[in-house]
């Protein structure tokens, strides 16, 4: 079995340097084309442009008033007016009109007194060329307008058209061929319905969109199966049409990964693996004609790192264009970020502005999870020679969304509830939309997040057996010094989520000890886990008696998915999650789910919006339709039991 | 004569507030449409999106290796291996393959020892679901993927396609109708050849390009003449098709300006003039159907201010989208910027990084000069309640070009020479292009700019009659403390620029006193002016004897344009300027034109590039072909005469 093992991995910088040194003679590979000026926005001129016409092309009045001979006006002053006669001494003129032959100045209409239809009086002299835009004031015919290499801005279109340049010669767009590969990948353009073992290919479209952002022209062909000869044929044909070729690996690596062999058939593999995670299995090569070939990893996040950190700088360099750094802001890390020495790591994060500073909440690192890139609003890069960052450290963070969106975003950390999705939706539908970033770390994690000012609010449903109260005893213990408010979101039903039709006939928590029942648990610190342990203790059931007690998930939905897919037979969770996936549900208890908020932030506009939404009739109706929610207290401030 | 006078001008903020309050019920005016997902980049979802499929849709191996039953592996450890039999206990599997029915974990191939074809040994247990991407790990079918109001990023296309979302319902693009008006404006699409009194209309294309940047759909119609009935008919028809209408005034204001009357015919004028320069004659109105109508000023820079500072915020607000502030950096002003109280002023500037800090060089303020917006790399806004800034003050400056381009830009301040255009062109054609910003303030201004670290280098050609040397005596006087280097650019011919065929038969400087000869001068501080005064003094000619001695221009080209257009009969300037405009030239003197550079910056890469270019054979050849240049010393370091 032949395997591609990445023995000679290099850093991203080394990889780029290596390619640059080999392609040095192949820079500025773009031909040129003549296109209409009005279609040339953001294109790059391939030759200098000189003005055809002057602007203005004539001496033009810059004010409404009268055209005069400046000589005639000398000596005019307050109390000693000069009288001017129509046609001989003055001609009425409007802004933009050509100055009549022989006249050399304009007097503003405000400074002219009409004595009669044909006679005016002025009390101020006009200096020569006063209020006149002279020929060529803006543009002189034949002068250099833009040098070659200039990128055309919206304003530049005005300059070019004003100078009578109706066509421009520009560098052609850099064409990038994209070949998705893999027997198991399905062409999204065919709207496929994936069977087991199949995945819908989408990396090619992500790349095509990024390329458009970088002013390139993507040329994508449909996926090619794992057939070496066919792959060579297809890539060779496409290579002739384009400046750069990207071969996208299928999601399966290993023995079927032909990318390296195909690159060897087309030319030479220069970089085989980079010291970056995600992104490690990236390949760079050069075809026999001297064209860059990129082997992109199959996992979507790895592919994006390969596109943005390897391909993008090389594209700008090949075009001879300056490349801006990604925009960054400083954020305070809400969790430690350990990192492997010798590997550059890219960590997706959510960013929010809490208590006047930006905080970042790390997302899961899995390279296969494209949704994490969609959820992320920031990206942290950890250098190869760093072992990572501690909680609370200030870290430079690339922003992935518009800055205003990040600035206005709300962060909710804590227990998960499906109503947070509903809230998210309502917040985005506001006249001035508010982005809600939610991280699910359990109720206790939420309380700590409020204590550390890592979140605007926290979802919590912690039951205290001693007082039979929710949340307050825990708040008293974890953030006794802080002035907080507890607002109810809903009373919700917790119970056992079981497969449709309840095939194993699970009825109570006592069934969990049965030999044929596999349970799926929630993580430590989750309110649901605490609830489970409370009841197990009451029933004198030991965790070790339950199969799957050690298997943890972080959200109700994830628990439900385990049941849906047969990974587990049941789990404790909320009714809405069961209903969302059309599973059965055995209600066990009603519990209070509250939002914890710092009192000092209650009047912030975004928090006010949240309170308005959850108190609204619409929200109540939508929530109740999800199943298992009672919103009679929603939006109300809770008080501890005596 | 009816005139539009701007009596009730309001600030930009007030104008926007007024419109917002009147249009409050008309927000989120966009309908929706269903489009293919791969065409939906940067579109905004009009309804929430839920996943069709899970991702993965099956339990998938996350590593190459063998699928096992985790139960079978418990107890395996170093020195105590477990033996597994093919098909019964293990199945070989590659990354991405579905886990065979009944198997629940994967062991990496690196941890497997093949004893024979069908038997393997392992020395580590596999925990359940080890190296398995479980169904729905990334996306769970039916879960909320994006809320309504979400703007689709390149990554999001990956998420949507992976979730089996092949079509999305998005808000339609905001359509903006553009009506250029004016009898004197020519439609650029017809490639016109302007006669006196005519101008090529281009504001509509500038706006169309800006609108594309703001994700709007521009709908431009050809210019409409100053015919009230026709204007009302055309605007009314277009208004039905679009969400916002922009009426662009011709370059002529005053009695022919119908915009206000047309707006009144369509609805109501709300804002008539804003306290901003450029941009003052902007109008805002609301049609009877409640659509925003904008009356854009005719001058191009005024129009851009109207588009960017009035229209843009209203577009984002109407769409219910967050709008980022323009990106700014702090720059040190190289000249004072006085400003009128009560008016917000926008000053175009060039930006360069000199001596470790950003400096900004103000450009001319004329609202009619579109080229200043093309040349500008920054924009400074001076508040209504500010009287402006002093030289040396640090001012927040909006950047108009990519930051890397600005960071790498070179700034040359001083005397003007046509070779600087040539140099600009060569610098932009480098593999990593360098942008050259040049400001023409005369040789003395250049020396002061080097003294104050406002420029990377300065062009200077100051003749000292006492020593008969160039530049050194002035450097000694103006920056005696500074360690500078003087590098020659060229020896150039100065002389009299006269009309083609020299109709007035001008031969020497003595002709300047003739009654029929009008002269055009250069500004005080210009080397050419100093040269002129030196010779006049020698010839005992008094400035008052010369007609036009008081009329000043800032560049050789501007002098030549005055001659070309008959504004003057002759001026002192360089041969290249005469040749560029096909004028006649009477050589008077050869003079040295040098570049002054601080010694400490000589080794900076960009300065090195300049020195390489001006020493190159190509540059010499190109320069000499311009006429009047001798480049024998070009690139050489000059020494003062004894």
DSSP state, residue B605: H
Q: Do B98 and A252 touch (CB under 8 A)?
A: no
Q: What is the mean pLDDT of residues B211-239?
A: 96
Highest mean pLDDT (candidates A543-547, B79-83, B208-212):
B208-212
Segment A71-94, tens digit of pLDDT:
899 889 988 999 999 999 999 998
Question: Nearest residue of B to residue A365 by CA position?
Answer: B138
Tell me the CATH class for A327-407: mainly beta
C-alpha A251/C-alpha A257 separation (Å) is 9
Query: Does the distance separating the beta carbons of A322 and B405 come in below 8 Å?
Result: yes
CB atoms within 10 A of CB B506: 22
Looking at residue B320, what is its pLDDT?
87
Of B258, B254, B279, whose CA–CA distance to B269 is shortest? B258
Q: How far is B173 from chain A (nearest CA, A)?
A: 17
Quick one: pLDDT at residue A5? 57
Closest CA–CA distance from residue A473 to any residue of chain B (Å): 33
H helix intervals, B187-241: 203-213, 228-241
Chain A residues lying within 8 Å of B378, measured CB to CB: none
CA A146 from centre of chain: 34
* Lowest-pLDDT choice from B42-46, B108-112, B127-131: B127-131
Judge residue B313's burial from the number of C-beta atoms within 10 Å of its C-beta, 0-12 exposed, 13-18 middle, 19 or more buried. Answer: middle
Q: How confident is the model at residue B250 (pLDDT cuts 50, 70, 90)?
A: low
SS3 B625: helix
**Nearest chain B residue (CA) to A20:** B431
CB A536 within 8 A of CB A543: yes
Can you tell me the distance from the alpha carbon of A400 to that of A372, in angstroms, rounded to the nearest whole number? 12
For residue B2, the model assigns a pLDDT of 42
Per residue in A510-556, pLDDT (tens digit) is: 999 999 999 999 988 888 999 999 999 999 999 999 999 988 888 88
For residue B318, the chain A residues in CB contact (below 8 A) are none
> What 3-state class would DSSP assign to A595?
strand
**Fold designation for A12-27+179-319:** Molybdenum Cofactor Biosythetic Enzyme; Chain A (3.40.980)
Tell me how far the alpha carbon of residue B329 is from its chain's centroid.
14
CB contact under 8 A, B199 and A56: yes
In tens, the pLDDT along B355-373 reads: 999 999 999 988 889 999 9
Cβ atoms A529, A441 nearer than 8 A:
no
Half-sphere exposure of A266 (CA within 13 A, CB side): 36
Q: Which residue has the tokens 């419109």?
A: B19
Does residue B217 register a pLDDT over 50? yes
Supply the pLDDT for residue A257.
67
Q: A253 vs chain B: nearest CA distance in angstroms?
A: 5
Listed by start position, the domains of chain A span 12-27+179-319, 32-55+138-171, 60-133, 327-407, 443-630
Task: Tell me the pLDDT tens digit for each residue of A29-72.
Answer: 899 999 999 999 999 999 999 999 888 888 899 888 999 998 89
Tens-place pLDDT, residues A193-204: 998 888 999 999
* Four-point Cα dihedral A533, A539, A545, A550, nearest 10: -10
Integer Cα distance of B56 and B163 in angstroms: 9
DSSP classification of residue B132: E
Looking at beta carbons, which residues of chain A come within 8 Å of B191? 166
Q: Is the pLDDT of residue B253 over 70?
A: no
Chain A interface, best mutation among B69, B145, B150, B157, by max A CB count within 10 A: B157
CB B455 within 8 A of CB B414: yes
Query: According to the model, what pLDDT value does residue B255 have?
Result: 42
Tell which CATH architecture fits domain B12-27+173-319: 3-Layer(aba) Sandwich (3.40)
The yes-or-no verdict on residue A254 having pLDDT over 60 is: no
- Taking residues B48-76, what's their average pLDDT? 90
Backbone angles phi, psi at A215, to 5 degrees: 60, 35
Phi, psi of A620 (to 5 degrees): -60, -45
What is the C-alpha radius of gyration for chain A, rounded to an integer number of angstroms? 35
What kind of architecture, by CATH, is found in domain B460-630?
Answer: 3-Layer(aba) Sandwich (3.40)
CATH architecture of A443-630: 3-Layer(aba) Sandwich (3.40)
Matching CATH number, A32-55+138-171, of 3.30.300.30, 3.30.450.20, 3.20.20.70, 3.90.105.10: 3.90.105.10
Cα B471 off chain centre by: 35
| pLDDT of amino acid A256 | 54
pLDDT-derived band at B495 (thresholds 50, 70, 90) equals very high
Q: What per-residue confidence (pLDDT) applies to A134?
A: 85
How many Å apart are CA A363 and CA A369, to the nearest integer?
10
pLDDT at residue B1, rounded to an integer = 37
CA–CA gap between residue A192 and residue A370 (Å, rounded): 19
Distance from the B36 Cα atom to the nearest Cα atom in chain A, whole angstroms: 9
Q: In terms of C-beta density within 10 A (0-12 exposed, 13-18 middle, 19 or more buried), how is residue A52 classed? A: middle
Q: Which two tokens stand for residue B458?
A: 């300065």
| pLDDT value of position B142 | 84
**How far away is chain A from the Cα of B482, in angstroms, using its nearest Cα?**
33
Q: B122-169: per-residue pLDDT in tens?
A: 999 998 889 998 888 888 888 889 999 999 999 999 999 999 999 999
Mean pLDDT, all residues of chain B: 92
Percentage of chain B with pLDDT > 70?
Answer: 98
- Bridge partners of A457, per DSSP, are A412, A597
**Residues ≥6 apart with Cβ < 8 Å to B642:** none
The reported pLDDT for the residue numbered B155 is 97
Torsion over CA: B186, A64, B347, B217 (sign)? negative
Q: What's this model's pTM, rounded to 2 decimal places? A: 0.90
* pLDDT value at residue B522: 92
Separation CA B58–CA B52 (nearest Å):
14
A vs B: CB pairs below 8 A: 362
B157–A209 CB contact, under 8 Å: yes
**Residue A3 with chain B: CB contacts under 8 Å:** 64, 109
Q: Hey, are the CB atoms on A64 and B433 less than 8 Å from each other?
A: no
Return the half-sphere exposure (C-beta side, CA atoms, 13 A cut-off) of residue B629.
27
Q: Please, are residues A496 and A510 in contact by the beta-carbon 8 Å criterion?
A: no
Going by DSSP bridges, is the β-strand pair A82-85/B283-287 parallel, antiparallel, or unpaired? unpaired
Q: What is the pLDDT of residues A557-587, one digit of tens each?
A: 889 988 988 889 999 999 999 998 899 999 9
Helix (H) or strand (E) holding B22: helix B12-23
Q: Within a 13 Å sphere around the CA of B552, how many CA atoms are in the beta-carbon half?
A: 12
Architecture of domain B333-442: Beta Barrel (2.40)
The DSSP annotation for B79-121 comes to TB-EEEEBTTTEEEE-TTPBPPTT--EEEEGGGEEEEETTEEE
Q: Do B188 and A27 make contact, defined as CB atoms within 8 angstroms?
A: no
Class of domain B60-133: mainly beta
Which residues on chain A are in Cβ contact (under 8 Å) with B321? 433
Share of chain B above pLDDT 90, in %: 78
- Calpha distance A625→A419 (Å, rounded): 11
Give the CA distances from residue A197 to residues B66, B95, B477, in Å, rounded to whole numbers and listed in that order. 16, 10, 82
Helices marked H in B546-604 — which ranges? Answer: 556-564, 575-580
A45, A200, A499, best to mutate vs chain B, most B CBs in 10 Å: A200
pLDDT at residue A96, as a whole number: 84
Q: What does the pLDDT look like over B379-413, one tens digit per residue?
A: 999 999 999 999 999 999 999 999 999 999 999 99
Binning pLDDT at 50, 70 and 90, where does residue A181 land? very high
Are A243 and A201 a contacting pair, CB within 8 Å? no
> Cis ω on the peptide bond leading into residue B508 (within 30° of 0)?
no
In this predicted structure, what is the pLDDT of residue A250?
66
* CA-angle at B159, arms to A210 and A10, nearest 5°: 55
Give yes or no for residue A305 having a pLDDT over 90: yes
What pLDDT score was predicted for residue B256?
Answer: 54
Interface touch B57/A144, C-beta < 8 Å = no
Domains A60-133 and A443-630 share a fold: no
Is B106's pLDDT higher than 80? Answer: yes
Residues from chain A contacting residue B564 (CB–CB below 8 Å):
135-136
pLDDT of residue A255 exceeding 50:
no
Q: What is the mean pLDDT of chain A?
A: 92
């Amino acid at each position: 079995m032949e395997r591609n093992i990445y023995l000679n991995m290099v850093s991203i910088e080394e990889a780029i340097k290596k390619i640059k040194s080999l392609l040095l003679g192949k820079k500025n590979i773009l031909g040129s084309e003549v296109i209409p000026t009005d279609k040339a926005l953001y294109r790059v001129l391939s030759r200098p442009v000189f003005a055809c016409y002057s602007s203005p092309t004539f001496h033009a009045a810059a004010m409404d008033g009268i055209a005069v001979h400046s000589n005639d006006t000398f000596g005019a002053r307050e109390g000693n007016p000069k009288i001017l006669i129509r046609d001989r001494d003055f001609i009425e003129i409007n802004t933009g009109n050509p100055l009549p032959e022989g006249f050399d100045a304009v007097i503003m209409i405000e400074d002219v007194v009409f004595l009669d239809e044909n006679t005016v009086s002025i009390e101020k002299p006009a200096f020569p060329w006063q209020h006149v835009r002279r020929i060529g004031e803006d543009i002189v015919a034949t002068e250099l307008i833009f040098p070659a290499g200039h990128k055309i801005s919206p304003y530049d279109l005005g300059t070019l058209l004003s100078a009578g340049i109706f066509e421009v010669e520009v560098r052609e767009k850099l064409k990038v061929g994209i070949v998705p590969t893999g027997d198991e990948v399905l062409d999204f353009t065919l709207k496929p319905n994936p069977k087991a073992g199949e995945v819908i290919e989408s990396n090619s479209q992500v790349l095509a969109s990024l390329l458009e952002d970088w002013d390139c022209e993507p040329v994508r062909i449909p996926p090619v199966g794992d057939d070496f000869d066919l792959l060579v044929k297809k890539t060779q044909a496409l290579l002739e049409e384009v400046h750069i070729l990207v071969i996208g690996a299928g999601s399966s690596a290993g023995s079927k990964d032909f990318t390296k062999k195909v690159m060897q058939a087309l030319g030479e593999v220069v970089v085989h693996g980079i010291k970056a995670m995600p992104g490690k299995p990236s390949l760079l090569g050069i075809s026999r004609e001297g064209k860059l070939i990129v082997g992109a990893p199959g996992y979507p996040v790895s592919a994006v790192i390969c596109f943005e950190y390897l391909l993008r700088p090389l594209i700008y360099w090949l075009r001879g264009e300056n490349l801006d750094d990604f925009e960054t802001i400083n954020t305070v890390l809400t969790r430690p970020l350990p990192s492997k020495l010798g590997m550059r790591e890219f960590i997706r994060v959510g960013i929010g502005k809490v208590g006047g500073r930006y905080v970042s909440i790390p997302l899961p690192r899995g390279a296969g999870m494209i949704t994490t890139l969609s959820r992320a609003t920031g990206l942290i890069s950890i250098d190869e020679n760093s072992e990572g960052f501690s909680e609370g450290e200030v870290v430079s963070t690339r922003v992935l969304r518009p800055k205003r969106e990040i600035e206005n975003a709300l962060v909710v950390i804590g227990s998960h509830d499906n109503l947070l999705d509903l809230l998210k939706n309502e917040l985005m539908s506001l006249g001035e939309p508010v982005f809600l970033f939610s991280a699910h770390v359990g109720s206790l994690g939420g309380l700590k997040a409020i204590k550390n000012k890592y979140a605007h609010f926290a979802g919590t449903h912690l039951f205290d057996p001693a007082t039979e109260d929710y949340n307050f005893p825990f708040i008293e213990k974890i953030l006794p010094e802080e002035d907080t408010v507890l607002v109810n979101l809903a009373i919700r039903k917790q119970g056992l989520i079981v497969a449709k039709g309840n095939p194993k006939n699970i009825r109570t928590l006592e069934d969990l000890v049965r030999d044929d029942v596999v349970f799926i648990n929630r993580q430590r610190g989750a309110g649901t886990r605490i609830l489970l342990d409370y009841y197990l203790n009451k029933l004198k059931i030991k965790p070790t008696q339950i199969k799957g007690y050690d298997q943890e998930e972080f959200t109700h939905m994830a628990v439900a998915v385990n049941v849906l897919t047969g990974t587990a037979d049941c789990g404790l969770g909320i009714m809405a999650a069961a209903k969302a996936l059309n599973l059965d549900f055995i209600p066990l208890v009603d519990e209070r789910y509250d939002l914890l908020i710092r009192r000092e932030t209650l009047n912030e506009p975004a928090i006010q919006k949240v309170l308005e939404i959850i108190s609204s009739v619409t929200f109540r109706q939508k929530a109740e339709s999800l199943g298992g929610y009672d919103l009679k207290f929603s939006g109300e401030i809770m008080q501890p039991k005596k």
